[in-house]
């Protein structure tokens, strides 16, 4: 196995708190959950945090909270994991794809404006690779058109824009605690908001649409409850919440480590003709969930497939983020989406590679990634440039 593109970090404290949770009276929706939610609210500078069992459930709860239903349109970027757009469909809505900016692959505020119709209800901004979007512009657009602004911040926990933490930049912000993300609970997710009503709706939504949870009824000594909405069982266990609370304390240190690795890569790759790192906006602190290298079409004679295969052979397990969501067969057959809809995303998809990026990367591994990229692209650089941007054919 080569060096993976992402990996969790678990230490002995994490293991101990999970064992303590297993020995406690509460295995789900207990004191650890409440403490974890409060800690995430404080960390993100928001009033309310609602934990759920994964990031997609968090997106689904956010769609429910803002009232997405049949006939409603939600603007999303195609340069994301399918779950972002799937959550719209789960509520009966229609995802409308708006293209991204060429240099950052973040949703373009101008493209968002072009996609607004009388049916638009919400905008989902995805902090691709861990870089916060242009929330100043997006908030203005959302306010002008009366739309909800939802941040899919599954990549950007611990990042900020103009000193404001991710979580406080949109009406609702969604996190994932899958093992490759900034911190993990095995599987897990969270939504943060300053709106108490939205938080209440999401708390019900994760518990079958029931107004109280088991712990509240136990404390009140009552058995009676009411289901007032259709909900799901999207609860996060107390075992996971204990792990989350322990992991969260390490996020600032891990983000600093990711930023250091990114600057090492930036420095090593800035002189390459065949590829360039994505741009980082000066007003953000980038959380670097991913480190994305983009092949330069004019000076790289090799295709992404060739570079991908070469790096994999050298033990660097690069990945591709992402296949444009509407390229997936489900989206083509159910909604009739066709290539050509978002040309900037489609072009970027041909050229992006995610390099290994996680806090536990060793100095030796970082050096191996750098050398492998330099050798691979250097070898292709040595191939005489073909006129007209012609590329070596790939199978």
Ligand X SMILES: *Cc1c(COP(=O)(O)O)cnc(C)c1O
What are the residue numbers of the active site? 181
Q: Which one of 62-70, 79-87, 247-255, 332-340 is the stretch in contact with ligand X (CB under 6 A)? A: 79-87
Name residue, tokens 């994991």: 81
The single residue listed with the structure tokens 């397990």 is: 317
Q: How many residues are recorded in the chain? A: 395
Options 54-62, 224-232, 278-286, 304-312: segment touching ligand X (CB under 6 A): 54-62
Judged by CB under 6 A, which of 78, 83, 159, 167 binds ligand X? Answer: 83
Tokens of 240: 């996971």
Q: Which is nearer to ligand X, 29 or 84 (CB)?
A: 84
Cα separation of 122 and 146, whole Å?
A: 9
Tell me which stretch binds ligand X (CB under 6 A): 25-33, 77-85, 356-364, 385-393: 77-85
Q: Rounded to an integer, what distance in angstroms lies between the CA atom of residue 113 and that of residue 101?
A: 14
Which of the residues 10 through 39 are near ligand X (CB under 6 A)? none
By CB under 6 A, is residue 80 in contact with ligand X? yes
Q: Are 94 and 139 in contact (CB under 8 A)?
A: no
Q: Residue 44 or 176: which CB sits closer to ligand X?
A: 176
Minimum distance from residue 116 beta carbon to ligand X (Å): 22
Q: Does 357 bind ligand X (CB under 6 A)?
A: no
Pairwise CA distance, residues 206 & 278, whole Å: 37
Q: Give the containing element (helix H, strand E) for 128.
A: none
Among 53-61, 193-201, 267-275, 367-375, the segment contacting ligand X (CB under 6 A): 53-61
Judged by beta carbon, residue 84 or residue 259, the one nearer ligand X is: 84
Distance CA 85, CA 68 (A): 12
Q: Which is nearer to ligand X, 64 or 368 (CB)?
A: 64
Q: Which of the residues 151 through 180 are near ligand X (CB under 6 A)?
A: 152, 154-155, 176, 178
We find the least distance from the C-beta atom of residue 53 to ligand X, in angstroms, to be: 8
Comparing every residue's Cβ against ligand X, the nearest one is 55
Task: List the one residue out of 284, 297, 188 whose CA is nearest residue 236.
Answer: 188
Q: 290 near 354, Cβ under 8 Å? A: yes
Among 50, 88, 126, 239, binds ligand X (CB under 6 A): 126
Which positions from 180 through 209 interact with ligand X, judged by CB under 6 A?
Answer: 189
* C-alpha 395: how far from chain center: 31
Selected binder of ligand X within 32, 44, 54, 193 (CB under 6 A): 54
Q: Which residues contact residue 23 at a Cβ distance below 8 angstroms, ignoring those fewer than 6 apart?
A: none
CB of 78: closest distance to ligand X in angstroms?
Answer: 12
Which parts of 210-269 interact with ligand X (CB under 6 A)?
A: none
Q: Taking the alpha carbons of 197, 198, 202, 205 in that order, is the dihedral positive or negative?
A: positive
Distance CA 190, CA 55 (A): 7
Binding site for ligand X (CB under 6 A): 54-56, 80-81, 83-84, 126, 152, 154-155, 176, 178, 189
């Amino acid at each position: 196995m080569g060096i993976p593109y992402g990996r969790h970090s678990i230490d002995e404290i994490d293991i101990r708190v999970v064992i303590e949770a297993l020995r406690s009276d509460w295995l789900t929706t207990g004191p650890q959950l409440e403490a974890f939610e409060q800690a995430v609210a404080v960390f993100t500078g928001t009033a309310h945090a609602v934990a759920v069992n994964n990031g997609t459930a968090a997106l689904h709860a956010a769609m429910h909270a803002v009232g997405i239903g049949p006939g409603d349109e939600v603007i999303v970027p195609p340069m994301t994991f399918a779950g972002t757009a799937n959550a719209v469909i789960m509520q009966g809505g229609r995802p409308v794809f708006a293209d991204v900016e060429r240099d950052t692959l973040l949703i373009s505020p101008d493209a968002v404006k072009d996609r607004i119709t009388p049916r638009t209800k919400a905008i989902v901004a995805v902090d691709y690779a861990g870089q916060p979007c242009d929330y100043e512009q997006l908030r203005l657009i959302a306010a002008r058109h009366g739309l909800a602004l939802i941040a899919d911040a599954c990549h950007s926990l611990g990042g900020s824009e103009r000193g404001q933490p991710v979580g406080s930049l949109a009406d609702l912000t969604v996190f994932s605690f899958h093992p490759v993300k900034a911190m993990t609970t095995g599987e897990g997710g969270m939504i943060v908001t300053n709106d108490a009503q939205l938080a209440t709706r999401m708390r019900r939504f994760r518990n079958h649409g029931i107004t109280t949870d088991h712990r509240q009824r136990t404390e009140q000594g009552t058995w009676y409850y009411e289901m007032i909405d259709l909900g799901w069982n999207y609860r996060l266990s107390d075992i996971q919440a204990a792990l989350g609370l322990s992991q969260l304390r390490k996020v600032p240190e891990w983000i600093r480590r990711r930023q250091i690795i990114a600057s090492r890569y930036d420095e090593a790759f800035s002189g390459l003709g065949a590829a360039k790192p994505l741009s980082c906006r000066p007003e953000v602190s980038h959380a670097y969930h991913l480190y994305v290298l983009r092949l330069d079409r004019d000076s790289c004679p090799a295709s992404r497939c060739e570079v991908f295969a070469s790096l994999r052979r050298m033990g660097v397990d690069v990945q591709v983020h992402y296949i444009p969501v509407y390229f997936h067969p489900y989206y083509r057959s159910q909604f009739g989406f066709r290539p050509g809809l978002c040309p900037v995303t489609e072009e970027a998809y041909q050229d992006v590679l995610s390099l290994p990026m996680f806090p536990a990367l060793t100095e030796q591994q970082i050096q191996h990634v750098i050398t492998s990229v330099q050798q691979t692209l250097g070898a292709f650089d040595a191939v005489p440039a073909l006129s007209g941007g012609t590329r070596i054919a790939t199978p």
